[in-house]
Each structure stands twice: as structure tokens, then as C-alpha cells.
Amino acid sequence: MKLKINFCRFLGRSTFQDDCKDIVGISQSSVSRAIIDVCNELILRGKDLIKMSTNDEMRESKLKFYEIGGIPNIIGVIDGSHIMIKSPSEDIQSLYICRKGGHSMNVQFITDSSYRIIDIVAKYAGSTHDSFMWYSCGLRNKFVQNNPNGYLIGEIL
């Protein structure tokens, strides 16, 4: 469990592995192995684990989100997160410089009220704006075509 928490902390804070090992109290090599293991598991099982909520799950999310914030018809939360990376090759380096000044990938996550990931887009360079990722993602097209009777809430400036 510590390794999974460490992995989430690593991704969420775009920090270095050394910071994670100090916080959780495990070696840097264990952090590195955990990150690789979790990424490989997501690659293998991602389609089974990351999927749009069922109608029942959406109803449950609407109720939970309403209880949390008093806003009706919310079925998910959307946000982007910069995952820091090593500097890419010089010819494409500028594409990966994010607003924080480092090199990153900009990853879009959408979760429901139970913190289940219902969509993830992890293909854009750090200079990509969150709104571009949303307008380019397949889930947005499903929202436009199918009108899921609910809203995503997030900050896309």
C-alpha cells in the first residue's frame, strides 16, 4: 500500500523520487520499481480499470457530490497534472516546457465521487493547455453525442 501511495504522491506533486522515498520511508530504488510496476499494470489493465461510470455509478456520484458541495448533477471532476520528465531531445524540447519551467507531460484525469478514474489522457507535452486536452479527448465527444445527464466540474482556464 505504501508503494501505491508513494506512486500517487509522485504523480500528483511532480516531485522527484528522492522526495517520495523520504516521505514514505522506503529506498529510492523501491520507489522506482513501484512506479514502473504501477505504470505497467495500468498499461495491461487500463481498459478494465479506467472506464466511464455506469448509470448506477453516475447516480451515486451525483448524490455524493451534492452531499459534498451542494451542486446538483455532478458526475465527475476533471483536472490536468504536470508529470515532470527528463529533458527530451533538443529539437522538441521547447514543446515540453510547462508553465512551471520544467519539462513535463500534461495528463488529464477525470474521476468520479469514489475517486475512480473514469478517463485519462496522457499524450500531450507540458506546453499543452488543459482546455486543448479536453476539446481533443474522446470522452468530450461522448458527452456531446450522448448527453449523459450530468456535468463534469473542473478548472480549465
Per-residue pLDDT band for 20 (boundaries 50, 70, 90) equals low
pLDDT of amino acid 107: 86
pLDDT of amino acid 65: 93
- Considering only residues 22 and 157, tell me which one the structure prediction assigns the higher pLDDT: 22
- Considering only residues 21 and 60, tell me which one the structure prediction assigns the higher pLDDT: 60
Cell of 62: 451525483
Alpha-carbon span 5 to 8, nearest angstrom: 5
pLDDT of amino acid 58: 87
Q: Hunting for cell 449523459 — which residue is that? A: 148
pLDDT of amino acid 120: 85
Mean pLDDT (whole number) for 103-113: 87
pLDDT per residue over 61-93, tens digit each? 999 999 999 999 999 998 888 888 888 788 787
- Considering only residues 134 and 40, tell me which one the structure prediction assigns the higher pLDDT: 134
Cβ atoms of 35 and 24 within 8 Å: the answer is: no
